Amino acid sequence: MTSAPARVATLHHRFADALPELAAPAVAAETPEPQLVALNEPLARELGLDPDLLRTPEGLGLLTGTHAPEGATPVAQAYAGHQFGGFRQLGDGRAMLLGELVDDAGRVRDLHLKGSGRTPFARNGDGLAALGPMLRELIVSESMHALGVPTTRALSVVATGRAVQRDEPLPGAVLARVASSHLRVGTVQLARALDDPDLLRRVADLAIERHHPEAADDPEPYLALYRAVIAAQANLVAEWMQLGFVHGVLNTDNVLLSGEAIDYGPCAFLDAFDPTAVFSSIDGEGRYAYRNQPPITEWNLARLGEAMLPLLHEQQDAAIELATDALGTFRPAFAAARAEAYRAKLGLPGRRDADLLVDQLLDLMAATPVDHTSFWRRLADAVRGDREGVRGVVLDLQGLDCWLDRWLNLGPDARAMDAVNPLYIPRNHLVEEALDAAESEGDLGPLEQLLDAVRSPYVARPGLERYAEPAPEGFGRYVTFCGT
């Protein structure tokens, strides 16, 4: 790798310095013909990066890792993880942390690449990524951001000019990803598995420094850190539930201590409201089904608590008691975040008397089942005097009318509903259409239109009608894939 002057970006290497045991030097694969497919200009500016410079050969070198700026120390991060319940030592097999940047608000952000070549953790993998899945990560993370959900972001997608062999040869690409950090539940688990108390402490200290600085002032800083991660994850999963989002692979290596969502692989938004919905091709048991996300998040947080035990108390029994008590805050925190989210969706923010109505409505929705996103959006029409939109899609009309009467009696605010129930989400058939056009025809039009729609999800815009419509009849069951 050649170094370029620090003209494009100044990168720090705090992770590599603080946790050298978890940082393996990484060298990016050469890119025969790099081509910028997508650049997130607003995000670039937020990071203090000049979009015009990012478009130069030097900039593309940064965004693919082939020309790291002078002073940068690109590393693949080691971590562990419970994958579908089984514990394994892992690490970035096809990714690297280029380093940290300080954004225009003074926050430290990771600049990270995915699909940048094999690393010491690659095992049998080729270290590469295909264009379609990297564009999916861009679309879904931009949508999440616009919906106000804490998330990692996509800065760019660069096609490499090299084919990637999957079932068939596909165009290869590198995603540049930005995160508050890439410290995972699995990072803590690895430090614990290595039986190195000093390393475990440094991981926790870095998490406190970067995400939960208030914990440093607590008399029990590590317990405060654990509680803060629990609260952040409870909030994240409540957001997913109210939006009808299925992450698809909630292994502990895909759960960040920051509470941002990461790894938009086999993810999907619900079309029909089916609490048992699973999209991932490898999740036969439905471990990560829509309705299982809250308990699975709690399970993942229990694994975090186990890994943190030596930090919580010298005596294991006392440590277990502290961790168990802290984990007990997950359910009430999730219930509170969920209740507040649904009160807002029902146009009754802050109103506890709305809570009884939520599960009754969800039962009516599931019994039909209705298109999740458009049903919530149309509900506001009933406040405006038009019930037919929702009546036209629910089977149990008597049950619905009865429910509508009780709800309307509480005086919901239709405008408040429109501000939280999106019109435009990355619907599965639209994502497939956009990826297919980009991958097989090099046509970026559908991708750009979809990005434009989901970046402003709440306000109806003429010309975007088809982006608000349910999947066409013949779309069939949607299946998504990991590691693509």
Where do contacts with Mg ion occur on this chain (CB under 5 A)?
254, 263
Token pair listed for 175: 């995603």
Least spacing, CB of residue 102 vs ligand AMP, in Å: 27
Which one of ligand AMP, Mg ion, none interacts with residue 126, CB within 5 to 8 A by kind?
A: ligand AMP
Least spacing, CB of residue 276 vs ligand AMP, in Å: 22
180 binds ligand AMP (CB under 6 A): no
Token pair listed for 113: 């690449």
Instruction: State the chain's maximal CA–CA distance in angstroms.
Output: 70
Which H or E run includes 95? strand 95-102
Distance in angstroms (rounded) separating the CA atoms of residues 443 and 434: 8
Q: Whose Cβ is closer to ligand AMP: residue 116's or residue 143's?
A: 116
- Residues in contact with ligand AMP, shown as a per-residue x/- string from 93 to 122 under the rule CB under 6 A: xxx-------------------------xx
Distance in angstroms (rounded) separating the CA atoms of residues 195 and 260: 27
What are the start-end ranges of the E strands in 278-422?
none
Q: What is the DSSP letter of 478?
A: -
User: Binding residue for ligand AMP (CB under 6 A) from 54, 62, 92, 267?
Assistant: 92
- Residues in contact with ligand AMP, shown as a per-residue x/- string from 259 to 288 under the rule CB under 6 A: ----x-x-----------------------
- Of 272, 265, 266, 271, the C-alpha closest to 286 is 266
User: Binding residue for ligand AMP (CB under 6 A) from 53, 108, 335, 482?
Assistant: 482
Q: Whose Cβ is closer to ligand AMP: residue 108's or residue 122's?
A: 122
Is residue 355 annotated as part of the catalytic site, yes or no?
no
125 binds ligand AMP (CB under 6 A): yes
User: Binding residue for ligand AMP (CB under 6 A) from 26, 39, 75, 90?
Assistant: 90
Least spacing, CB of residue 164 vs ligand AMP, in Å: 8
Residue type for position 87: F
Catalytic residue among 253, 263, 271, 371: 253
Q: Using the structure block, give the residue that is written with the tokens 């109806």.
A: 460
Q: Using the structure block, give the residue that is written with the tokens 């009309």.
A: 397
457 binds ligand AMP (CB under 6 A): no
Q: Whose Cβ is closer to Mg ion: residue 98's or residue 250's?
A: 250
Residue type for position 250: L
Least spacing, CB of residue 274 vs Mg ion, in Å: 26
137 binds ligand AMP (CB under 6 A): no
Alpha helices in 131-184 (DSSP H): 131-146
Which one of Mg ion, ligand AMP, none interacts with residue 298, CB within 5 to 8 A by kind?
A: none
Q: Whose Cβ is closer to ligand AMP: residue 160's or residue 254's?
A: 254
Distance in angstroms (rounded) separating the CA atoms of residues 469 and 373: 9
User: Binding residue for ligand AMP (CB under 6 A) from 180, 254, 297, 373?
Assistant: 254
Backbone angles phi, psi at 440, to 5 degrees: -95, -25
Strand partners, 214: none
Distance in angstroms (rounded) separating the CA atoms of residues 436 and 287: 29
Distance in angstroms (rounded) separating the CA atoms of residues 115 and 245: 25
| Residues ≥6 apart with Cβ < 8 Å to 291 | 275, 276
Segment lying near ligand AMP (by CB under 6 A), choices 62-70, 84-92, 214-222, 230-238: 84-92
Asked if residues 103 and 93 have their Cβ atoms less than 8 Å apart, the reply is no
Least spacing, CB of residue 125 vs ligand AMP, in Å: 2
127 binds ligand AMP (CB under 6 A): yes
Asked if residues 92 and 121 have their Cβ atoms less than 8 Å apart, the reply is yes
Token pair listed for 333: 């925190």
Q: Whose Cβ is closer to ligand AMP: residue 94's or residue 136's?
A: 94
How many residues lie near ligand AMP (CB under 6 A)? 19
Which of the residues are catalytic? Answer: 253
List interacting residues with ligand AMP (CB under 6 A): 90-95, 121-122, 125-128, 249, 253-254, 263, 265, 482-483
